[in-house]
Amino acid sequence: MQYYNSIIETIGNTPLIKLNKVNKGIKGTILVKVEYFNPGHSMKDRMAVKMIEDAEKAGILKPGGTIIEGTSGNTGMGLALTAISKGYKCIFTVSDKQSQEKIDILRAVGAEVIVCPTNVPPEDPRSYYSVARKLNKEIPNSFYPNQYDNLSNTAAHYETTGPEIWQQTEGKITHYAAGVGTGGSMCGTSKYLKEQNPDIISVGLDTYGSVFKKFKETGVFDENEVYPYLTEGIGEDILPKNVNFDLIDTFIKVTDKDSAIMTRRLAKEEGLFVGWSCGSAVFGALEYARENLKEDDVMVIILPDHGTRYLAKIYNDNWMKDHGFLEEREFATAKDIIARKNGNQLLTVDVNQKVGEAISLMNKEGISQIPVSEGPNHIVGSLTDSKILAKLIESPELKNQSVKEIMDDPFTFVGMDNTVDVLSSLINKNCPALMVRDESNNVHIITQHDLLVAMTN
């Protein structure tokens, strides 16, 4: 009889499939390694098993224990399947930008899921990193795999994904492309392939709002590169230990919109019903290939997961339209709005100025909100007239204190490519203005008035 002893024995040996349509006009052979053929429908199954088995061998995880991890969903699924097979409990922390499908799937396989805010720094006690670490300290016989810094992540792909690609291409691969999040699949696979042929070029796909590309090019961790983005599974506001920049030859950044549209094209034109970051990987890899691939080259792109995780998002027409990804008309972008301002200097109030001085400045300039700065282009907070009024009514003496005593969080930073319809959906009573940073690292503000002007011009 032919059968497997448990579901985790079916992990790996996923197929390579040739792209035929979305790569039209590009030289070379473009192959995608379709990781949704794993039982948990993603490549994270590979490293989930490896992290657990390595922890068992090291005596860190004992029978009856609890696995606690911060995940964007797919790692949680792999860990949950492993836990079911081996008899462990699971608690997962996820950010609130993850799709509801991912959360529902994790709960369906018996995991407890805790949703944490996205727009907080990694060290904030509310972040999904911090909550996972806290639970690990509090719960006896628990194991925190920490996929970002656990090198078993990289080892899993060095031992499985890399050898599979080398064998499947008969050693003819010339370029390897993958999205970079934790870094395990990119760097483990790249390490193996480069050991077989040092001339193989590894292309990392990043997203706007992530630090990877600039860090690779300059060696500088620039916090100004970090701002909220929608694409799930790639990019980071930290530098995971699994990201070995020496194994990544170049990075390409991809916007949320280009990623989402390519993901839908893969389904409609190639029959590949894949997840959101798969669109990032293919769009960015093809951008690189268009200028760099030769006729005899062979590029392999990792497609990490399945489209069922994103039914309510990128495969939902209304959601796509709400975010400006399916445009029924052309909208101006944040870049266009800033250009119309002709480089006007951003008006800010210093964090150490008195509240009364800030009010006088706002009255003089006729504005209802203002960013709070601490040094050039370093925005640390915000003030709005309605919130200042409410605080002064309660405590009039606040007008003689420094701005930092009453300021709110900085206005949300957005990417320069976001269109007016998307920008308008982000402005509300809790976020009355938006911030953008241009190519020269200068900060600009976009108000509701700016959006109205853009819509009528």
The residues annotated with a catalytic role in the active site are 44
Exposure string for 85-108, b = 16+ CB within 10 A, e = fewer? ebebbbbbbbbebbbebbbebbee
Task: Give the amino acid at 203.
Answer: V
Exposure string for 134-167, b = 16+ CB within 10 A, e = fewer? ebbeeeeebbbbbbbebbbbbbbbbbbbbbbbbe
CA angle 83-89-94, nearest 5°?
A: 90
Q: Which residues pair with 443 in a beta bridge?
A: 437
CA gap 131, 263 in Å, rounded:
32
- Could you tell me the two tokens for 425? 């959906």
- Cα atoms found within 13 Å of the Cα of residue 274, Cβ hemisphere only: 35
408: burial class by Cβ within 10 Å (0-12, 13-18, 19+)?
middle
- Could you tell me the two tokens for 223? 């916090």
Residue 445 host element (H or E)? strand 443-447
CA gap 193, 171 in Å, rounded:
9
- Could you tell me the two tokens for 270? 């190639």
- 354: DSSP letter: B
* 3-state SS, residue 111: coil
Count helices and strands (H / E) in the chain.
16, 16
CA gap 59, 440 in Å, rounded:
51
CA gap 328, 344 in Å, rounded:
32
User: Do residues 12 and 78 lie in contact, with contact meaning Cβ atoms separated by under 8 Å?
Assistant: no
Closest by CA position to 189, among listed 304, 313, 332: 304
Distance of CA 159 to the CA centre of its chain: 26
Q: Which residues pair with 402 in a beta bridge?
A: 354
Closest by CA position to 102, among listed 307, 244, 402, 288: 307
Pairing between β-strand 29-34 and β-strand 16-18 as defined by DSSP bridges: antiparallel
Please provide the size of the chain in residues: 457
